Amino acid sequence: MTLKKLRLAVCFVFSILCTFFIFCFSTKANAQEKITITGTVRDNLNAIVNGASITNLNSHKVVLTSSSGTFSIDAHRGDSLKASYIGYQDIVWKFTDLINYDLVLNASSGSLNDVVVTGFGQKERKSSLVGSIATVNAQDLQHPVANLSTMLAGRIAGVVGVQRSGLPGSNSADIWIRGIQSFGSNPTGPLIIVDGVQGRNINDYDPEDIQSFSVLKDAAATALYGSLGANGVILITTKRGSEAKSQIMGQFLQGITTFTKLPKMADAGTFMNLKNEAEEASGYAPSYTQDYIDSTLDPNANHYVYPNVDWFKQVFKSSSMNRKATVSATGGSDNTQYYVSLNYYDETSMIKQDPSQSQYNAGTRFSRYNFTSNVDMRWTKTTKFSLSIQGYITSFNQPGTGAGGSNYTLGSSSGAQAAFSDAMNASPVRVPAFYPGNLVAGVAEGSTPSPNPWASVTQTGYDNIYTSQLNSTLSLQQDFGFWVKGLSANAQYSFDNESQNENYRTRQRSIWYLNQAQPYNADGTLNLQEVIAGSDNLNFGRLSAGNRQNTLQGQINYSRSFGEHHVTGMLVYNQLSSVDPYQSSYTAYIPHHQQNYAAKLGYSYKNTYLFEFNLGYNGSEDYAPNKRFGWFPAPGVSWIVSNEDFFKPLSKVFQYFKVRYTDGLSGAPGTGLRFGYLTFVTTGANGASFGTASSLVNYSGVNISQYGANVQWAVSHTRDLGVDFHTANDHLQFVLDYFHSHRTKVFLSRADFPDYAGLQYQPVGNLGVVDASGFEGQVTLTPIKIGKNMTLGFNGTFTYNTNKLVDDDEPSYADPYQDRKGHNINAQYGYIADGLFKNQAQIDNSADQSALGGNPRPGDIKYKDLNGDGVINQYDQTKISNGDVPKWIAGAGFNFTYGDFYISAFFQANIGSYRTLSGIAQSPFAMSDDGNVFANATDRWTPENPIENPFYPRLGYGSNANANNDVASTWWVKNISFVRFKTLDIGYNFKNRSWMKSMGMRNLQVYFDGINLMYWSPFKLWDPELNTGNGNVYPNTRNLSIGVRANF
């Protein structure tokens, strides 16, 4: 065992021992009481309510429900008790003889008292918020997924998400808050804060361990994070213990995964006929005779000689498995509370394995173990100490294809992705998967290479990446109310350590070729020749990487009411240091430091007029000394109009009405450079020689790899106008926002230096400007009764975002239609297609397109001559689409209950996104490599069937024959908008059954969980969410699971 693994094991054992000790202590403390009332609290959707208050109104003792919704409290018969939770109606009852209760809380008028986590862990009532902050119910995220980010799109107004791949372990989603507002190499994703610590990954946490999830969107909410907040901030808080009898929860799910959509490739017959057609159209002899085609399609033919392979069926199974298990314990006494959990997730891909290669595992599999231990101890009535230890261990195994080599870096191979790429692109008729004796099939030496997907997956060894992460946090909270009422402070230190190790064992098997001219030997066996001599031995390689991070934070808080006035304040100091100890570069190994100061002042009068001022002041050593720190102020106001007397006549229509406005600055990092203000100069470039022939001296030139500049962060000036209102007796609630952001000083490589300046590398600077705007909304129908024992609730969101590139430092184009300025950041550029050429006469009378390569023929794409010079070339390019980031994203879900039965469903919509096709999706047979084509290649123009709007123009063989058609143009722009049936949950809760009591079980839930069940889209070739123009990405997957959850 290595030292790092030993440290991880010791820390984990230590946290478990601490938790066990506290568990025993708290159990003993609770056991001393003679009369204990227990129970479970749920809402009217049968969802567990964690953190509800159970109060003994006689003794004034208060406990909170655990993460499993259970509680225990001491009482005497005759005592009155109350169950309450923010946003729900109280329940009051008298304790007589029943000692176990199943309580159901009904939603109250609008959930205005809901507590929302804001910047630096502050907690505020929803009604007192000034900034634009959205939350999502953590229970809506609890699905069996490897990456939490895949569950966010459509659930939160303002959050745009796209899942780009379905590869196990690599299937996270790209997340943007209010769309993309930067370009180039600048970060566009939000800042992630977990339990007050920056730099932790949202996908490293199991949804079961999350207590709250907040998204900060406008300047008033994000200015506290200064130069890090302009792209939005996501705050995640993990679960903690409560003062209650120890409770244990266990959960297990078993699921089946399938592809949402597998591209449909041409079968053997279609492929050969289309290839012959493309070759003949390009002046080549057809590759396949009719006899060969007939033999290939004959099911009784020898398919070693006449290969006919469906590579998807050869390489992939129809389904695979995933599973998830969770065990958690929570509870505590007056002085100590704890929450501890252990989670396991495992997912395999649908890639097959070769049973004959059982000596090693080349299968694709992602496994993760998460553990969490959060302990809170009250040392005095005013002092609280907390220790949190969280971490995970992951293992990702895949085929060894691509691993190793002189320039190989950790994690850069993707054997699983290569398996899909090869299976999709391989010819169905060139080689079989293998020859008798498990010999790897290939092509003759010197021939155009042809992939053998089966060999790539099963015969190349394996590659395993092992990752471990340990996050530890110590915090101390002190209430100074005995000194100054409303004053408190807290200090926090965290240490995070990540390590990665990749071990790969790879090999090259011998490749065998079948002599097609004489396929059989005299004895009738196949005439096979070894064209590449390989080995059965495995080569070994290993790489390591990691990161260490230290964070120190101090915070002072103040909150106090003076009659109808309420004042709040906060001061924060935060510093972070991180280093990658495995870096070999001296600049990369230097620790990275940043400092942050933040201040917040709030004031409200009569809880009607609210004012807030937020200020961030932070800096980074990546910038020049005089540019390292910056100020980011953001004021905001809100007015609860429904509290005014003049609004009373409207109160029957609007029970609550609030207006918010914020206007401020926040920053965005983005140079991507370490010490970007420095100029890096090295010798060794070509120079000049001086002197006479007898005394010639060579003077070396210099290389400038980085030109120093006063680079710094980008600055966003954001305005936000919001309206919150409730109607229909508070059951129907709306939140609407309009925002506009003007971002300046965007980092870029300067484009205004001419070539004759002789610069080896382009200088950089903060010269980019981007405008972004949009509107978003959320509508919620709180659960209402629609019949006896039946309730119905609804939640919907929508987000519209757009952006405009104002300045990118490019010189102006001669023709305005070519200018990138004024268009959205992700806009795609190319030619405007004007149908297909019908005949040679039309070609002769049209603009000359020969500059695109080759000579156009009937059936080729005709382009518009935008500048009217009679020639189609780069000067006729213009914007052809908005790109693949959706303008609109929406979500809608409902919850229905009938007694102990429940069903919930959620739909996600991405609208206004477009993909420009490329590769084989754009030009079948263009690469002359015998690769397969999509089955829809039959929808093409032919002289015999000159249809006007086929999917493909005339087919051609080879790059020259397709040059006119394979340029980016509106012909290849496809609408990839979609509506997805994202999740479905159906379940039943068993409660108060005699057989449950005998096992100490308080609740048992049995349920079905479905993810990515189906989708609807005008785009048909592959799952439209994938990040590909040619379909060459491992598809997204559908998951169907059966689960059981028990509380003890």
Is the model more confident about 993 or about 292? 292
- pTM, two decimals, is 0.86
For residue 47, pLDDT beyond 50: yes
What confidence tens digit (pLDDT) does each residue in 236-257 have? 999 998 888 888 999 999 999 9
pLDDT reported for residue 1030: 92
pLDDT reported for residue 1036: 94
How far is residue 251's CA from residue 433's CA, in Å, rounded to a whole number? 42
The chain-wide mean pLDDT, for the chain, equals: 88
CB-count exposure of residue 133 (10 Å: 0-12, 13-18, 19+): buried
What confidence tens digit (pLDDT) does each residue in 341-350 have? 999 999 999 9
How far apart, in Å, are the Cα atoms of 219 and each of 121, 234, 618, 744, 996? 17, 14, 15, 15, 52
Question: If pLDDT is split at 50, 70 and 90, which confidence band does 141 have?
Answer: confident
What confidence tens digit (pLDDT) does each residue in 205-218 have? 999 999 989 999 99
- Dig out the tokens for 764 from the structure: 């950089």
Give the containing element (helix H, strand E) for 988.
strand 978-991
Cβ-proximal residues to 694 (8 Å cutoff; 6+ apart), any chain: none
What confidence tens digit (pLDDT) does each residue in 344-369 have? 999 999 999 888 877 788 889 999 99
How far is residue 1044's CA from residue 286's CA, in Å, rounded to a whole number? 60
For residue 8, pLDDT beyond 50: no
For residue 272, pLDDT beyond 80: yes
Cβ neighbours of 777 (radius 10 Å): 19
Torsion (CA) 356, 357, 359, 364 in degrees, nearest 10 = -130
**CB contact at 8 A, 159 and 908:** no
How far is residue 600's CA from residue 618's CA, in Å, rounded to a whole number? 15
CA angle (604, 608, 611) in 5-degree steps: 40
Question: If pLDDT is split at 50, 70 and 90, which confidence band does 264 have?
Answer: very high
How far is residue 485's CA from residue 567's CA, in Å, rounded to a whole number? 12
Residues 301-309: what's their mean pLDDT?
Answer: 94
Residues 142-146: what's their mean pLDDT?
Answer: 86
How far is residue 786's CA from residue 94's CA, in Å, rounded to a whole number? 29
pLDDT reported for residue 503: 92
What confidence tens digit (pLDDT) does each residue in 73-129 have? 888 888 888 888 755 778 888 888 788 888 888 765 445 567 788 899 888 888 889
For residue 471, pLDDT beyond 80: yes
What confidence tens digit (pLDDT) does each residue in 568-626 have? 999 999 999 998 887 777 777 788 889 999 999 999 998 899 999 999 999 888 888 88
Domains, the chain, with CATH or none: 3-105 (2.60.40.1120)
Please spell the DSSP secondary structure of 614-651, one letter per residue. Answer: EEEEEEETTS-GGGSEEEEEEEEEEEEGGGSGGGGGGT
- Dig out the tokens for 870 from the structure: 């009679």
Range with top average pLDDT, 61-75, 236-250, 284-298:
284-298
What confidence tens digit (pLDDT) does each residue in 927-976 have? 666 789 999 999 999 999 999 899 999 999 887 777 899 999 999 999 99
Residues 673-699: what's their mean pLDDT?
Answer: 72
Question: If pLDDT is split at 50, 70 and 90, which confidence band does 997 have?
Answer: confident
How far is residue 541's CA from residue 2's CA, in Å, rounded to a whole number? 17
**CB contact at 8 A, 450 and 427:** yes
How far is residue 174's CA from residue 165's CA, in Å, rounded to a whole number? 10
